[in-house]
Each structure stands twice: as structure tokens, then as C-alpha cells.
Chains A and B, each alone.
Chain A
Amino acid sequence: DTEVTQTPKHLVMGMTNKKSLKCEQHMGHRAMYWYKQKAKKPPELMFVYSYEKLSINESVPSRFSPECPNSSLLNLHLHALQPEDSALYLCASSRLGGGVVTGELFFGEGSRLTVL
């Protein structure tokens, strides 16, 4: 069983909807990530939070809005998405040492998003 929990597992939304993806971990990791993965492609980094602060934004469109309420939770707010945003959205966490990513990534099972 994964130690990173993501909800919902599946989400279908229209282009005018507002929805959120949620991620939770209780491993004490201080780095949390959102990745987007399309079929037959590797995970593509979207955002990194280090010590609950946004440290990396890989030029993601503003229709994706991340939020890190505390060290265990990570949200991804979705608004006015496009059909091409349909993908598997993976949350991950890892340890930080001196502010630098150390060790492996632990992934959640992902939220499979379909935008109609």
C-alpha cells in the first residue's frame, strides 16, 4: 500500500468546472510534488513544494493552482481546464536535507482526470 494517498482516484469534469485534487502523506517528508503523466510518457514535473513553500513551478498554466496547507497536505485546484489536460496526476513526496531533495520519491496512486 502506498503511503501517499490521493483523492479522488478518478475525476471527470467539464471545461467550466472547478475541482480539486488532494494528496496526503504522513512520512514527515518536507518536499511534495505534482506530476502530470500522459499515456506512454514519463511523469512531467508541474510543481514542487519545499517546507510548504512553492519552490518550483515548471511554467504550468494558471488554470492549475497548487496549495500546500500544511506539511502533510497538498492540493491542486483545477479551473477552466482543456480536454488536453486529461491525464494521470501524480502526487509524490520525498525527504529534504539542507533544502535539497534527498532520497527517493514516494508516489501516490494518482488521480485520473478526464476533461470533457
Chain B
Amino acid sequence: RKEVEQDPGPFNVPEGATVAFNCTYSNSASQSFFWYRQDCRKEPKLLMSVYSSGNEDGRFTAQLNRASQYISLLIRDSKLSDSATYLCVVDGNNRLAFGKGNQVVVIP
């Protein structure tokens, strides 16, 4: 089983719609969870950390489910500028492991 698994998509989302995706992780001892956003030909940038109680930042909501070992990201009221790849990052073995990313394409 891979350390971090994501369905790469692409996720084609009409503008204004809601999109959600999950990321599963294999290391039950993992303590730190992040969502990064990466635009085409740019570096990854932190979107949000994921806390046990879940957290929200504007239109973005992240959740952690330790029992089932996954984290989720929900984007409400999608904007064209949300088009990007969303990378799930989880700590383990003293390093941060990346998922393959969820490619989101917001369509006008």
C-alpha cells in the first residue's frame, strides 16, 4: 500500500459548484497533515494544515478521519482560479510523503 494515495482525476467542476476529494494514508502514527496547491509549472504552496477537529478557511474545508486514515478537502463555490493540482502531504518515517495530487479544472 502506498504511503499516501489520491485519485489524480481530473475533476472537472462547473464554476460555482462544490468539489470534494479524499486522500488515504497508510501510517497510523502520522501526526501532521497538509493540503498543498500547485499551479502548472509552479512550486507547491501550502493551502492549509489539517487538524484533528477539522478546519475551514473561507471556501475550503479540511477534515481528518483517523479511524479510517484519510483526510479530505472540500471546495465550495468553485472559482476559475481554483484550477490547480491539490497535493495531500502526510508525515511519516521522519519525512513528508506526497500523494499524486488531485487535478481540479473549474469550467466556466
Contacts and interface: CB of A to CB of B under 8 A. Distances in A.
The answer to whether A binds B is yes
Interface of A: 2, 41-43, 45, 48, 55-56, 88, 90, 94, 100-110, 112
* Candidate in A56, A90, A101, A106 with the most chain B CB atoms within 10 angstroms: A101
Contacts of B91: 101
Size range of the chain B interface in the assembly? 20 to 34
Interface of B: 32, 34, 36, 41-46, 49, 87, 89, 91, 94-96, 98-101
Given A101-B95, A103-B32, A104-B49, A42 B43 contact: no
B87 A90 contact: no
Contacts of B45: 107
- Which DSSP category, helix, strand, loop or mixed, fits chain A's interface? strand
Given A41-B100, A90-B43, A110-B43, A105 B95 contact: no
**Closest A-B pairs by Cβ, 3 of them:** A42-B98, A107-B43, A104-B46
Contacts of B41: 88, 112
Contacts of A100: 94
A71 B85 CA distance: 31
B96 A105 contact: yes
B100 A42 contact: yes
B49 to A, nearest CB: 7
Contact of B101 (A42, A88, A102, A103): A42
Contacts of B101: 42
Given A42-B98, A43-B44, A110-B42, 5 more contacts: A90-B44, A101-B94, A101-B95, A108-B43, A110-B43
Given A42-B100, A103-B32, A109 B42 contact: yes
A45 B43 contact: no
